[in-house]
């Protein structure tokens, strides 16, 4: 099994998307790259921790790979906005890819360079526009704001946030899960 840590705005919806993907064996929401140890949700929302709401995605590399996972990731985020996804605003809602396996770095670097050169990653164009229904900020069409770096730390979020949308089916989500399902991105 391998892990990748993905920050894509509010972690409730991002977790739900990845939990539904074939080859993903577990998800856990938490706070990545915090300047303070063991932050709580309220601390992270204050903006003082530097942490990003992040989903730890554990996957079976024999059943899925980083290309597929990143294709879905970039289909559900707006990579052009800084510290915002949907209605959620703040540094904790920035987008990021955080890795723990050094062997993933060359692939991730190549993928992100491709994104920066083309403005969109492979297999993302139509899905991202359909799902997000957003356009890049003027002049930012190719300036990807998604950060990519080694994971410094990860603190699991409180139990009430784990599988939040499973526990609260009518809970807030900045993603249109029904549209993602119709498009075959998730089950």
138: Cβ contacts below 8 Å, ≥ 6 apart: none
**φ/ψ (deg, to 5) at 118:** -100, -20
Q: Are 174 and 10 in contact (CB under 8 A)?
A: yes
Torsion angle defined by CA atoms of residues 147, 54, 6 and 185, in that order, rounded to the nearest 10 degrees: -130
Chain-centroid distance of CA 142 in Å reads 19
Q: Which of these is catalytic: 6, 10, 72, 124? A: 10
The β-bridge relationship of strands 147-150 and 95-99 is parallel
Structure tokens at 70: 């990143």
Q: Is 45 part of the annotated catalytic residue set?
A: no
| Active site positions, annotated | 10
């Amino acid at each position: 099994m391998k892990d990748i840590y993905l920050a894509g705005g509010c972690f409730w919806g991002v977790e739900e998307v990845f939990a539904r993907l074939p080859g993903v064996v577990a998800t856990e929401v938490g706070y990545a790259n915090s300047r303070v140890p063991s932050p709580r949700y309220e601390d992270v929302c204050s903006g003082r921790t530097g942490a990003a709401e992040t989903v730890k995605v554990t996957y079976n590399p024999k059943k899925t790979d980083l290309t597929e996972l990143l294709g879905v990731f970039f289909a559900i985020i707006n990579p052009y906005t800084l510290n915002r996804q949907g209605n959620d605003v703040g540094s904790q809602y920035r987008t990021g890819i955080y890795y723990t396996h050094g062997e993933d770095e060359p692939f991730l670097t190549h993928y992100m360079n491709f994104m920066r050169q083309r403005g969109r990653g492979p297999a993302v164009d139509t899905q991202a526009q359909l799902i997000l229904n957003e356009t890049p900020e003027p002049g930012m069409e190719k300036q990807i704001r998604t950060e990519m770096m080694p994971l410094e730390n990860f603190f699991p979020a409180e139990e009430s946030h784990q599988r939040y949308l499973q526990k609260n089916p009518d809970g807030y989500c900045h993603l249109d899960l029904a549209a993602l399902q119709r498009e075959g991105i998730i089950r």
